[in-house]
């Protein structure tokens, strides 16, 4: 059988990828669904910043409370987390590590599903290859999620500025590393949702498939761990399996765990591209 893969020239393919990503970002910010997601995001993060982060940071800023927490239990105490210079960022880090992956799953569940079932891609593949279409959509989601992370990070910096402006230089340095880490953490989630969204016929179905993937791999991993304890754990197959190791860590120390999500993203994107080239649109 002839290959129907489009092999565009690299400049044209890159230009198409950028155009498609930009269209995705515009859709993410300006359509009704995008605006609702943005409003929900701002509301939730407003509450998170003003209550848990602001309140807890005022306590954690007190060295005596930090020492008290550190001495509670030698095992359970988050020593590295308590060593962060700016408590607002430490709390932002912990909450973001769980919030943004969840948000990425929900908001990137419709990278392909609805357009595929609506056959909208048929208008696009007359004009561009499947590779730019795939990578353009994924890049668009990455840009969207990154902008959400940036906004949350900037709001946290504002909070720090209001409490103590002298902390801003240190906060900026740590914030860059935190945001970079968060971006790396969410990338495999977006890649996995790209694959599931290609298979599913709706965003809801893609989300259900994600739940299924996590349940099945977790159960299989647990069973293997029980019956074959000598075998390595399969947990690393799942995006976010390194998050527990990141929580009690420093911004620079967390980067040590970056290779796993990077490799997971690369494998998932290759699988997605392979599938994209073969499915009926």
Partner 1 sequence: MNLIETDKLTKRYGSKLALDGVSLELKPGRPVALVGPNGAGKTTLMSLLCGYIRQDSGEMRILGHTPGHAALLGKVSALPQDALLDPNFTVIEQLGFFARLQGFGPKDAQHEALRVLELVDLKDSAKSKPGALSHGMAKRVAIAQSLIGTPKLVLLDEPTAGLDPANARAIRDLIASTSGDTTFMISSHNLEELERLCDTVLYLDKGKLSQSLSLSSLDAKRSVAEAHLTLSLHSEARADLQPRLSSLPGVTHVKAQASGREFILSYAPKPTGHDTYELELALFRLLAQEGISYRQVLNGKSLEDKLFS
Question: Interface with partner 1 by CB under 8 A: which residues?
Answer: 1-9, 12, 16, 19, 23, 27, 31-33, 115, 118-120, 122-130, 278, 280-281
CA distance 195 to 198: 5
**Nearer residue to partner 1 within complex by CB, 22 or 66:** 22
CA distance 250 to 255: 9
**Nearer residue to partner 1 within complex by CB, 119 or 204:** 119
Q: Which of 129, 115, 83, 136 is nearest to 250 (CA)?
A: 83
What is the token pair recorded at 268?
């998932």
Sign of the C-alpha dihedral computed for residues 269, 270, 271 and 274 taken in this order: positive
**Nearer residue to partner 1 within complex by CB, 18 or 41:** 18
**Nearer residue to partner 1 within complex by CB, 13 or 246:** 13
CB of 42 to partner 1, least distance (A): 20
The neighbour count for residue 175, using CB atoms within 10 Å, is: 23
**Nearer residue to partner 1 within complex by CB, 14 or 177:** 14
Whether the CB-CB separation of 41 and 161 falls below 8 Å is answered with no
The neighbour count for residue 259, using CB atoms within 10 Å, is: 11
Q: Which of 10, 201, 25, 37 is nearest to 113 (CA)?
A: 201
**Nearer residue to partner 1 within complex by CB, 124 or 198:** 124
CB of 142 to partner 1, least distance (A): 19
CB of 125 to partner 1, least distance (A): 6
CA distance 241 to 213: 13
């Amino acid at each position: 059988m002839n290959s129907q893969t489009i092999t565009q020239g690299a400049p044209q393919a890159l230009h198409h990828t950028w155009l498609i990503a930009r269209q995705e970002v515009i859709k993410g910010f300006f359509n009704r669904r995008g605006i609702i997601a943005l409003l929900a995001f701002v509301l939730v993060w407003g509450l998170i910043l003003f209550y848990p982060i602001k309140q807890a940071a005022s306590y954690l800023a007190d060295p005596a409370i930090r020492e008290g927490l550190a001495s509670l239990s030698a095992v359970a105490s988050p020593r590295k987390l308590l060593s962060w210079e700016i408590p607002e960022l430490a709390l932002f880090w912990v909450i973001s590590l769980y919030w943004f992956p969840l948000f990425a799953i929900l908001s990137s569940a419709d990278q392909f599903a609805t357009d595929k079932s609506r056959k909208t891609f048929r208008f696009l593949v007359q004009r561009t290859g499947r590779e730019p279409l795939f990578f353009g959509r994924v890049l668009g989601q990455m840009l969207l999620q990154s902008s959400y992370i940036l906004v949350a990070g900037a709001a946290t910096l504002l909070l720090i500025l209001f409490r103590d402006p002298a902390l801003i230089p240190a906060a900026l340095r740590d914030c860059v590393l935190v945001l970079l880490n968060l971006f790396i953490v969410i990338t495999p989630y977006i890649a996995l949702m790209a694959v599931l969204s290609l298979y599913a016929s709706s965003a809801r179905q893609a989300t259900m498939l994600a739940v299924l993937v996590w349940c099945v791999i977790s159960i299989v991993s647990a069973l293997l761990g029980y019956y074959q304890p000598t075998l390595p754990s399969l947990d690393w197959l799942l995006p976010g399996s390194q998050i527990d190791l990141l929580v009690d860590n420093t911004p620079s120390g967390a980067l040590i765990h970056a290779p796993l999500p990077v490799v997971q993203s690369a494998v998932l994107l290759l699988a997605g591209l392979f599938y994209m080239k073969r499915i009926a649109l």
